[in-house]
Amino acid sequence: MGSYVFGCSECGQEIEVDASMRTAILSNGCPVCTEPARTECFEPTGT
């Protein structure tokens, strides 16, 4: 269901997220390590 794959440059976590989760991660940081996220950390999944 996700439309992006988030990849944390700090801890290496990769998760598939939707647009609202992408916005939350950009605001709050990585859900695993809290490292600030950048738009470059998200790749569209193509779905």
Q: DSSP per residue over the chain, as a string?
A: --SEEEE-TTT--EEEE-HHHHHHHHHH--TTT-PPP-GGGEEE---
Band (47; pLDDT cuts 50, 70, 90):
low
pLDDT of amino acid 46: 75
Q: How many domains does the chain have?
A: 1
- What residue numbers bound the domain in which 36 lies? 4-44
Is the full-model pTM beyond 0.75?
yes
**pLDDT tens, residue by residue, 2-42:** 699 999 999 999 999 999 999 999 999 999 999 999 999 99
Partners of 8 in the β-ladder: none
Q: What pLDDT score was predicted for residue 20?
A: 96
